[in-house]
Amino acid sequence: MKYLFLDFGYVICYPTTGDWFITPYFNDYIKEHNLNRKAISNSVKYFGDILDRKVLTLREEVEMYYDFYKGIFDRLEYKIPLNDIDTIANDITYSPTKYRLFKDIREELIQLKDIYNLILLTDNWPCGEYLMNHWGLTEYFKNMYISSYYGIKKDKKEFFQIPMDEYNIDPSNILFVDDSNTPLDTAISMGIESYKMDRYNNIQEDDYKVIHDLKCLCR
C-alpha cells in the first residue's frame, strides 16, 4: 500500500478569520481596542525565530505565543496588559474555533484510508495534534509528524526522512500534498510524487500538478 503524506493548513483546514495568527477571540479584541489588524499581521515576519522554537507541549506553546504576541505588541508600541497577552496566547493554543475543516475532508479521509497509509506532515505546533484529536481525525492517520516536535520543517529533506526511516518507505511509494511551493520542491527533489492543493480554484497555470480536493486521489 502506498503512503500519502498530507499537509495540514489549506489541505485539511483553514483559518476561520483568514489569518493563522488571529483567532476569532483575538479578532474581537483587536476591534474592541481599536488595534491595527494589518499592522499586526505584517509584524509576524519579524518573529519567525520565536515560532521556529522546538515546542513539545501545549504549555510550551502557550509560552511561545506569549513571547510572540508580546514581541508584536512591543514593536507596534501597543500597551497591552500582560494578563491580556497571556489570554491571547492561551486562546490561540487551545481555541477549537480558530480553524475550520474543509467541508468534505472527513469523507475524503475515510476513502483515502482504504487506499493509502496516511501520514500528517505539517509545519505546526502541539495544537495541531490537539485539534486533530478534537475533530476525531487522528484515527484515519498511521502517524502524525509535527515540525515543532523535531525543530525542523518541511523545507528540509530531513523532516520527510523521519517517517520514511521509521516505516522504511521508498520515495517512489509516496504521494505528497501541500499548498506551498517550498515543501513541494523539497519532496520532488527527493523523488516523491507531489501535488499542489488549490482548494479555492485560484490557480490558472502552475509548474506543479494541481488538485482541488483529495477525492481525485481516491480514483
Cell of 52: 521556529
Summarised one tens digit per residue, pLDDT across range 28-48 is 999 999 999 999 999 999 999
Could you say which of 58, 77, 94 is where a domain stops?
Answer: 94
Pair 62, 90: CB distance under 8 Å: yes
Q: What is the CATH number of the domain that holds 199?
A: 3.40.50.1000
Could you say which of 35, 70, 94 is where a domain stops?
Answer: 94
Pair 144, 129: CB distance under 8 Å: yes
Domain assignment of residue 188, given as a range: 2-14+100-218
Residue 19 in any domain: the answer is: no
Closest CA to 48 of 74, 21, 79: 21
User: Is it the case that residue 1 has pLDDT exceeding 80?
Assistant: no
Q: How large a percentage of the chain has pLDDT more than 90?
A: 97
Cα angle 32, 37, 40 (rounded to 5 degrees) comes to: 120
Q: Are residues 110 and 64 in the same domain?
A: no
Pair 89, 59: CB distance under 8 Å: no
Q: Are residues 207 and 122 in the same domain?
A: yes
Summarised one tens digit per residue, pLDDT across range 64-88 is 999 999 999 999 999 999 999 999 9
Q: Are residues 54 and 109 in the same domain?
A: no
